[in-house]
A and B are shown apart, each in its own frame.
Chain A
Amino acid sequence: MNAPAPMPEIRHYTGVMNWLTTVDHKKIGLIYFWFVVLMGLVGGAFAGAIRFQLASPGATLEALQAAQLAGTAAPMALFNADGSGLFGNYHRYNEMVTMHASVMIFFTIIPGFIAFANYIVPLMIGARDMAFPKMNAFGVWLLFPSAILMITSFFVKGGAAASGWTAYPPLSLTGVGDPGQDMWVMGVHFAGVSSILAAINFLVTIISLRAPGMTWSKLPLFVWATFFVSIIQLVATPVLAAAVTMVLMDRNFGTSFTVASSGGDPVLYQHIFWFYSHPAVYIMILPGFGAISHIFAAFSRKLVFGYWGMVIATGSITAVGFAVWAHHMFTVGMPIWAQNYFMIASLVIAVPTGIKVFSWLATMWGGTIRFTTAMLFACGFLSTFVIGGFGGLILALVQIDFSFHDSYFVVGHFHMVLVGGSVMLLFAMTYYWWPKMSGHMLSESVGKWVFWLMFIGILCTFMPMHVSGMEGMARRIPVYWADFRLTNHLTTGGYCLTFLSALIFFIDLIASYRRPKITVDDPWQINDVQQSFEWATSCPPPDYNFVQVPPIPVIDPTGGKH
C-alpha cells in the first residue's frame, strides 16, 4: 500500500455553520430527528383542531338543525358552515384534515425512520459514513422547502390543499387558480426527491460499505429492513410523483389525464396513486419492525427468534406489497375478478406479518425480561399493532369494505397501525437509541408515564372510532349525529392523553441534555448477548465512528455457532 497522498486543506466550521455544512450521517440523522419531533407536534396540533371540532356537542348535526329551527345562532364550533367559527368555514376543516395527514405521513413518520436509519445503519454495518454524504445532507435539507410549501399554503389565496392527502380528482381539480393544491403537489415532489435520494444512498451504503466480515447473513435486522424499505422507496416514489404531476398538469396546463369529461380517467389516478401509497405504508412500518426485533432481543437477553424467518418475511412483505394496492378502492367499480384478487392478495400479507409477530413473542419467551421504557413501548406496539392489523383484515374483505368504506372504521384502522404501530415504534426506538445519539439518558421514570399515558390514550382514541364507523359515522365530515356523541367524547379524551404524553416526552427530551454524559459504550448492557456495532463505540460516537474497524461479531445473529 502506498503512503496516502497529503490531505489538501480542509475548511472546518464551528457553531451553526458546522451543522449547515455537515455531511456527517450522525449530525444529519439528528437534523432529521428534530425536524420530525417538531413536525410531529405540528401535525398533532392539527389533529387537535379536528378533535376540537368533533368533540363539541355544538358541532353535531342535530344541534345545528335545532338552532336553525329555533332561529338562534349556530352553536359554538371551530369550523362552521356559515364561516362563524374560530377558524372560519368547513373548507378550513378540510384543509386541516389534509394537512394533518400530509404532515404526519411526509414529515413525521417516513423521515422519522430515515432519521434513525441515518444515524444507526452506518454504525451497525461498521462504516464511517453513508456512501454519498453530500447527497445525504441534500436529502434532509429538501424536507424544509417541502414542509414550508405545504404549511405556508394555509396563508395563500384560497387556502391550503383541501382534497385529502390522496388528492383524488375531480376534488383536487377544484379551485383552479388558487395555488394551495399546487403548492401541496410541489411539496410532495420535494419530499419525494428527498425520499428517492435517501433510498439510493442506503442501498449503496448497505451493499458496498459493510465492514469486512459483516456478511449478508450477519446483517442486523434493522439494516435488512432499511434495505428492503429503500427498494420500496426507490421503486414506488417516482410513481407517486407521476400521479401528483398529472393533477398539477390537469389543474394548470389544461391536459385531461384525470378529467373524465374529456377522455381522462380519475379511477386510473387512484390506481397510480395507490401503487405508491400502499407500499408507502410499509415504508412507514417495516424499518420499525426491524428495529423492534433488536429491542425485544436486547431486553429479553436473548437472540432474536427466527432470524431468517424475519428476513424472508420482510422481503415477502416488500414483494407482495406491490401487488395489493386496489384494496383501497374496492368501491370504484372494479371487475369482480379484480376485487377477488386484491382481497386475497391483501389477506396473504397477514402471513409474513404473523410470522414476525410470533417471532417477537418467541424472542421474549423464556427470556430475562427488563421492562425499560423502550421495552414497554415495544410491547405496547405489539398489542396495538395486532388490533390495527386485524382491522385491516376486516377491511380487506370486499363485502365488508363496501359498507365500511369511507367510514370512521377505516380511520380507526389506519390510525391504530400508524399511531399504535409506527409512532409507538418511533418512541421505542427513541428510548432505545437516544443514549447513543445524544450521549444522555432519557428519564426512565418519566418514560413510564409517557408510555402509559400514550398507550391508554391510543386505545381510547382509536378503538371508539371503529365503533363510530360501524354505526355509520362518515369520515372527513365536520358534523355528525348525536348518536355518536359518546364514542366521540372518548376519542377526544384519548387524543388529549396522547398529546399530553407527547408533550411530556418533548420536555424530557430537552431536559435530557442537562443530565450527565454517558461514559460507557453500552449503557443497556446488551452487547454481550446481542452484538451490534453501534454499542461498540462511545455515546455519541466520534466523527469517524470507530477508531479501528470493529471486529466481526462473535455471536451469530442467526443463532448458529462459529
Chain B
Amino acid sequence: MSTAPIPAAAGHPGPSAPGHLLDEHGNDPNTHIPPPSLWPLLVTVGLTMMPFGVVSILGALPGWGPLGYPLFGVVLLLTGAAIFVGCLMGWCHQIIREKPISHNPAAQQRDLQYFVLLFLTGELMAFGAVFGYFYYRHAVDPNFGPPHGADFHFGGPLVAYATFVLLSSSITCEIAHHALQKHQVNLAKFMFVVTILLGVGFLGCMGFEWGEFIRRGFYPLHPSIADSSHSAFAAIFYTGTGFHGLHVAIGLVMLFMVLARLQAGHFAAHRHFAAVAASWYWHFVDIVWVLLFITVYVVG
C-alpha cells in the first residue's frame, strides 16, 4: 500500500469503507478531526502544583527555596486549583465548540456513551472497595456496627426522607431526558430544576444527619461513645456517605451545566449527549445510594 504525500491533518477515528479515499486535505469525509490541544497539559500543570502546595503548607519542604514557606504553599495550591479548574473548563469548551464540525455525530455520541458507562464501572469498583470493607468487617467482627445508646438512634425518618427525595429526583431527571428527546424544552428545563432542588434537598438531609450524629458523640475520627469497634464503623460510614455525597455534588454541577446549556439552546432533540451523561450519572448516584443505604442502615 503506497502512501502518497497528502497534506496531513491530525488523524482521527472511524474509517468508513475499505479502499475509501481521503479528500484533497487528507481528511476522511466521514471522520471528525480533532485539532491539537494544549488543555490536557495545562490541566496537568495545575494538578502538579496542588500536591506540592499541600506539602509546602505542611512545612515539609525546608530548603526548597520559596516552597519552604507555607504561605507560598497556599499560593501554589490556590494557583494550581485555579489553573486546574480554568483549564478543565477550557478543555470542555473546546470539546463543545468543536462538536458541530463532527461529520459522524452518531458514532461520536455512541463512543461518548461507552465512555460514560465504562467510567461509571470504574466508579462502581471504587464504591465496591467501600462495600467490601464493610461486609468483611461485618463478617469477622461481631462488634462492628453503630453504637447503641439511650439517646442514640442510628437511622430514622430523616434517612428515609433523604432516600425518598433522591429516588424521586431520579424520576424527574428521567422525565426531563424524555422531554428533551421530544423537544419539549420548557418541560425539560423545569424538570431539571426540580431534579437539582431535590438533589440539594438530599444533601441537606444528609448534612443534618451528620450534624445530629456528631452532636450525639458518633465522631468520624476517633473512638467515641462506646468501644473501639465503632471507630472503624465510623470511618467507613462517614467515608462512604461522604464519598457518595461528593458524587451527588458533582452530579449537581453536571446537571447545572446541562441546564445552562439548555438555556443557551445547545441541544437538539437527537443530540444532547451532555444531558444523557448527566442523567446516567444521576441514576448511578441513585443506585449507589440504595446499595449504601441497605449496607449501612439495614445490614449495619
Among B181-189, B199-207, B208-216, B224-232, the one that faces the other chain is B224-232
User: Contacts of A242 on B, CB cut-off 8 Å?
Assistant: 126, 129-130
The 8 Å CB contact of A549, one of B15, B51, B59, B137, is: B15
Interfacial chain B residues near A178, Cβ < 8 Å:
60
Cα-based distance from A536 to B223 in the complex (angstroms): 66
Q: Which of B39-47, B274-282, B283-291 contacts A (4 or more CB under 8 A)?
A: B39-47
Chain B residues with CB under 8 A of A182: 55
Cα–Cα distance between A205 and B33 once the two chains are bound (Å): 15
The reply to whether A235 and B125 contact each other, CB–CB distance below 8 Å, is yes
Contact of B15 among A5, A156, A211, A537 (CB under 8 A): A211
Q: Does A503 contact B (CB under 8 A)?
A: no
* Bound Cα distance A550, B39 (Å): 32
Q: Using an 8 Å CB-CB cutoff, how does the interface string of B23-57 with A read, 1 for contact, 0 for none?
A: 10111111101111111110110011001100100
Q: How far is the CB of B121 from chain A (nearest CB, A)?
A: 6
Task: Give min CB distance, A101 to chain B, whole Å.
Answer: 21
Range of interface residues on B (Cβ < 8 Å) = 35 or more
Cross-chain contact A536 with B1 (CB below 8 angstroms): yes
Q: With A and B bound together, what is the CA distance between A127 and B31 in angstroms? A: 11
List B residues 116-133 near A (Cβ within 8 Å).
Answer: 118-119, 121-123, 125-126, 128-130, 132-133
Contact (Cβ within 8 A) B118 A7 = no
Residue numbers in B under 8 Å from A254 (CB-CB): 221-222
Shortest beta-carbon distance from A44 to chain B in Å: 25
Q: In the assembled complex, which residues on chain B have CB atoms less than 8 Å from the CB atom of A538?
A: 3
Chain A residues, CB < 8 A from B298: none
Q: Are B36 and A262 interface neighbours, CB within 8 A?
A: no
B14: chain A residues within 8 A (beta carbon)? 127-128, 208-209
- Identify which of B4-12, B167-175, B261-269 touches chain A: B4-12
Q: Is A293 an interface residue (CB 8 A)?
A: no
Contact present for B136 and A235 (CB under 8 Å): no
Closest to A148 in B: B48
| C-alpha spacing A65/B98, complex, angstroms | 71
A10 to B130, CA, bound (A): 46
B3 lies within 8 A of A238 (CB): no
Does residue B197 face the partner (Cβ distance < 8 Å to A)? no
B197 CB, nearest partner CB in chain A, Å = 31
**Known contacts A22-B36, A547-B4, A548-B21: A128-B122 contact under CB 8 Å:** no
Interface pick from A137-145, A353-361, A411-419, A449-457:
A137-145
Residues of B within 8 A of A (CB): 1-4, 6, 8-23, 25-31, 33-41, 43-44, 47-48, 51-52, 55, 58-62, 64, 91, 94-95, 98, 100-101, 103, 107, 110-111, 114-115, 118-119, 121-123, 125-126, 128-130, 132-133, 136-137, 140-141, 143-144, 220-223, 227-236, 238-239
Would you list 11 pairs from A and B whose C-beta atoms are within 8 A, ordered by A residue? Answer: A7-B33, A138-B44, A157-B60, A182-B55, A196-B122, A239-B129, A263-B143, A263-B232, A544-B28, A550-B1, A552-B18
